[in-house]
Structure 1
């Protein structure tokens, strides 16, 4: 038991070292070029790398580990390519307008990304590092089911928004159709469901302090609803369309995150 715990901690420490080395190394390159264009791609790529490496370092590759790692891989590839194509189309990420000119703030952005990757991926890392296995059960099906729902929700919301923005008739307008008619941030709802589901499945083989990795979905929820996601977009929306009575009506009738199903 102690040996297994020590092996897990060793793998987690190794992945943290890789994670921060990658983000800080790419920060140096981005600072030199004064660009943020590969920031999101770097984050998604690190998810892929650490998932693969922890699976390799764990050395067991049980069915649950393989399925979970595959799910993370599919999520990371889709989101990474979507965000990269979006920023290449837009020409910039407005989150970084000030940060690119402030070396300290720019470094904070890359450091936060390293923390985000490692904490969000923590349940999957623990799962991949564990040598013990248990039969697939209800907890796995619930977790994987939540992942599928969240993935479809996030991908659909991103597709709808991209299609909306590409329509010349929608220039300067806000999206309030499709999933965006029942939630102001359906993509973030999908993201929260994805990592909640992956924690639930990974918890099938957890014990003791490993359950504290529930910090993963909690951290994702906190980050999206209190820090860098919803607050920034809501502020931007009010600044751009705050005087628009249709937007005010949209704010009043459409929930911020969770759709009203009643």
Structure 2
């Protein structure tokens, strides 16, 4: 039954993304892309909770944490794109319906894989008492949520100040990491996997793909590489920016040599 429910949730996820792609392609807009992604997270989390065999406090808390994250991030990204008018990730993409379709499809896959630990947790029957892994995971989620929220707000206020026009942020959390919001995002999904792992069994541990995917995408695909390239193009010749690069780690707020 859980496997059938997972397949149904995956189908619903893709059907929703493809339906919204039709509207987005017709309007040639990406303005509700991120909002759709966050909304799908919330929808699937609550559906899995309602479809599950039991609603233990563990499942309720997990679903609540996904909901809080989705509401905050979805609203933040939607307001940001309304303010800026566009998302540079989609330059040259929104006009090409086929490529745009691929982006919406990838969003559907990202939502499902990232949410997989929570879906498995909600769909299975668990009577195990809350334990160390539950509290550890929720604690890591809380740290990540605070870091991401504070970093986003600091950058929002920085950009809203006319005196900072054309400048790069290097204050607050951004003085310790060049991408603290991404660090928070990674911690959020790592925490939710750990809390779910308290009751996962056998093949279900494949859901470790959730934090691994988030880390991989942000480090190598859609996050850091794009922003670092744009920053180098804009400020790369400025001595102050070169100093910032040298003293501030890319992600983790410690200087680690691998």
The gaps in structure 1 that reach 5 residues or longer are 1-6
Query: What is the rounded CA distance, in whole Å, between the counterparts of 1:235 and 1:144 in structure 2?
Result: 34
Work out whether residues 114 and 211 of structure 2, in 8 Å CA contact, stay in contact via their aligned partners in 1.
yes
Match of 2:225 in 1: 231
Is 2:14 aligned against 1:10?
no
Query: What is the rounded CA distance, in whole Å, between the counterparts of 1:11 and 1:169 in structure 2?
Result: 52
Q: What is the correspondence of 1:122-201 to structure 2 with a 5 Å cutoff? A: 122-201=116-195
Query: What is the rounded CA distance, in whole Å, between the counterparts of 1:245 and 1:133 in structure 2?
Result: 59
Per-residue CA deviations over 1:117-147 (Å, capped at 9, x if unaligned) read: 0000000000000112211000111100000
> C-alpha displacement at 1:59, in angstroms?
3.7
Which residue of 218, 233, 236 maps to 1:242? 236
Per-residue CA deviations over 1:173-216 (Å, capped at 9, x if unaligned) read: 00000000000000000000000000000011111010111000
Match of 1:75 in 2: 69
TM-score by length of 2: 0.98
Work out whether residues 35 and 78 of structure 2, in 8 Å CA contact, stay in contact via their aligned partners in 1.
yes
Query: What is the rounded CA distance, in whole Å, between the counterparts of 1:50 and 1:202 in structure 2?
Result: 16
> C-alpha displacement at 1:105, in angstroms?
1.3
Total equivalences in the alignment: 256
Which runs of 4 or more aligned residues in structure 1 lie more than 3 Å from their structure 2 counterparts after TM superposition?
none
The gaps in structure 2 that reach 5 residues or longer are none
TM-score by length of 1: 0.96
Match of 2:43 in 1: 49
Match of 2:252 in 1: 258
> C-alpha displacement at 1:54, in angstroms?
0.5
Work out whether residues 133 and 205 of structure 1, in 8 Å CA contact, stay in contact via their aligned partners in 2.
no
